[in-house]
Structure 1
Amino acid sequence: MSRIAIVGGNGQIARLLHPLLVQAGHTPVALVRTASYAPDLEALGAEVGILDIENSRPEDYATAFEGADAVVFAAGGGPDGNAERKRTVDLGGSLGSIAGARQAGVERFVQISAIGVDQPVPDDTEPVWKEYVAAKRDADKALRASGLHWTIIRPGRLTDDPPTGTVTLAPEVERGDVTRGDVAAVVATVLDEPTSVGHQWELVGGSTAVVDAVRSATA
C-alpha cells in the first residue's frame, strides 16, 4: 500500500481519482485549503490534510507530504478569468510541490498539465489563456528539470461525460476532448507503472484501454 499526496485534492479530477486509488490498494491524501471539504473527501476514501498552496512555503509542502510515497499535482486556478491565479496556483503551486517533495524525500511525482502548452499562442489570445498556457508550460519545464521521478499528463479539453475507459496517449496527439474520469484513470495507472517515469504524454479520448495505452506508450 502506498500513500499518495494529492495537491488540489478537492478538484474535479482529484475527486474521481481518490476512489480509483483506494481500489488499487493505495491511500489517497487529499490536500486542501480548508477542513470544510473533509467529510465529502473522506466519503470517497481519502484522508484529508490542509495545504493552502497560495500561502505556503516549501517546508509547508514538505510537512504535508510527510509519509507519502508519491505526489500528484492536480491543482488549477479555475476558469474564473483571474490571470494572477494561473501563476500562483498552476505555476506557484507546482513549484512549491516540487520543492516540498524534494525536501520531504518523495521522489515520485505525477503532474496534470494541459495539451499543447509548448506551442506558441496567437497574438490575439485572451490574456488569461496566455497566462494559463505559460503557467502550465513553465511548471512542466520545472518538473522535468527537478531530478524527481516525474510523469506529466497533458489532457485535451476536459468534459464531465462518463469515463469511457479508452484513450489515446502519446507524446503528441491531435487535439480533442477527454473525460475527467479517463484522466483520473490514467493518473492512477501511471502511478503503478514504473516505466512511466520520465515520460510526458498528451491525452485525449480514443479506442485503447487505459492500461494498454499506458503500457504501449512506455514501450
Structure 2
Amino acid sequence: MKVLVAGANGHTGRLLVQYLDTAGHEAYAMVRKEEQKEDMEGLGGIPVLADLESDVGHAVKGMDAVIFAAGSGSSTPPEKTKDVDRDGAINLIKETEKLGRAPKFIMLSAMKADHPEEGPEKLAYYLKMKGEADEHLRSTELDYTIVRPGALTHEAGTSKIKVGKSVDRGSVARADVAKTMVACLEEANAYRKTFEMVEGDTQIEDALKTLE
C-alpha cells in the first residue's frame, strides 16, 4: 500500500515511516525542507516535498492511504496552531478527496478534542483546532480513522493498549501510537471510527477489533 505520512519528520511521524516500511508498505515521507530528504530515506521512506500550508495535491497523487501526524507543537503561537492543526489537516483531507475514490485517511488527533474544556487549560485552543479538523474529516466519505492518544511518551512501548470512545486519562508511548495507526490501515473495524487510547493490557490488533 502506498501511504503518505504528513509530519514525517516529527517524533511520531518518524516512527510511522519506519513501521510502515517494516510492514511492507511504501512509506512516502512528506517533509518541507530539501535537507530532510536524506534522513527520511534512511528511515525507509520515500521523501516528498510539500507544505501543509500550501499545495499538497502532488503529494497525495497515487496514494492508497494518507496519515496526518503533523503537529504545531506546545510552544507554537495560536495562529500557527490554526494553520497546521486545523487548516493544514483540512487542506490535506480535501486534496485526498479529489482522488475520486475512497482512500484511507488516518488522523492523529488528541484526547478530549471534541471537548477541549475538559482537557488541560493550556491545551484548550490546540484541542479545539484538532476537534474542528476531526469534525471535517468525519463529514467526508473517506475511510477515516481518528486516533486520540493520551499524554505521549518516548518509552519503547509494549504493543498493548486500551481503546474506547472515551477512556480515563493516561499516557501511551509514541511507538504504540504509531503501531496502532499502521494497524488501522488493515483493520476494517477501525474504518470510520474515532477512539481514544492509552497504554493497556490488550494487543493492538485485538484492541482495534473491539471498537464500536
1:85-124 aligned within 5 A: 85-105=80-100, 107-121=103-117
Provide the C-alpha distance between the structure 2 equivalents of 1:23 and 1:215, rounded to a whole number of angstroms. Answer: 22
> Which residue matches 2:197?
203
Are 1:62 and 1:104, in contact at CA under 8 Å, matched by a contact in 2?
Answer: no
**Does the 8 Å contact 2:56/2:95 carry over to 1?**
yes
Partner of 1:65 in structure 2?
60
Q: Please list, as runs of the form range in 1=range in 2, the aligned pairs for 1:91-170 lying within 5 A after superposition.
A: 91-105=86-100, 107-121=103-117, 125-126=121-122, 129-170=123-164
Please report how far the alpha carbon of residue 158 of structure 1 lies from its aligned counterpart in structure 2 after TM superposition: 0.4
CA shift, 1:120, in A, is 4.5
Question: Which sits farther off after the overlay, 100-109 or 165-174?
Answer: 100-109
Equivalent residue of 1:67, what SS? coil
| Whole-angstrom CA distance in 1 between matches of 2:191 and 2:41 | 29
Matched to 1:25, the amino acid is: G
Q: For residue 17 of structure 1, what is the aligned residue in structure 2? A: 16
Structure 1 segments unaligned to the other structure (5+ residues): none
Q: Deviations over 1:76-119 (max 9, x none)?
A: 10122411111000001110011110112352101000001212
The CA deviation at 1:187 is 0.3
- Normalised by the length of structure 2, the TM-score is 0.94
1:131-180 CA distances to partner (integer Å, 9 max, x unpaired)?
20110010000000012111100000001111111110111110100010
Identity of counterpart residues, as a percentage? Answer: 35
> Per-residue CA shift, 1:182-202, capped at 9, x if unaligned?
000100100111221111010
Q: Which runs of 5+ in 2 are unaligned?
A: none
| Distance in 1 separating the partners of 2:39 and 2:58 | 23
Partner of 1:6: 5
**Residue identity matched to 1:3:** K
Equivalent in 70, 74, 78 of residue 69 of structure 2? 74
- Is 2:17–2:44's contact at 8 Å kept on the other side of the alignment? yes
Length-normalised TM-score, structure 1: 0.91
What is the rounded CA distance, in whole Å, between the counterparts of 2:73 and 2:33 in structure 1?
17
What residue in structure 2 maps to residue 182 of structure 1?
176
Matched-pair contact (CA < 8 Å) for 1:171–1:200: yes
The aligned amino acid for 1:33 is R
Please give the secondary structure, in 1, of the residue aligned with 2:71: coil
Q: How many Å separate the matches in 2 of 1:130 and 1:119? A: 9
Q: After the TM superposition, which segments of 4 or more aligned residues of structure 1 sit over 2 Å from their partners?
A: 104-107
- Structure 1: which amino acid aligns with 2:121? T
8 A Cα contact 2:189 2:208, kept in partner: no
Counterpart Cα distance in 2 of 1:168 and 1:175 = 11
SS at match of 2:135: helix
Question: Does the C-alpha gap of structure 1 residues 115 and 66 become closer, same or farther in structure 2, counting only changes over 3 Å?
Answer: same
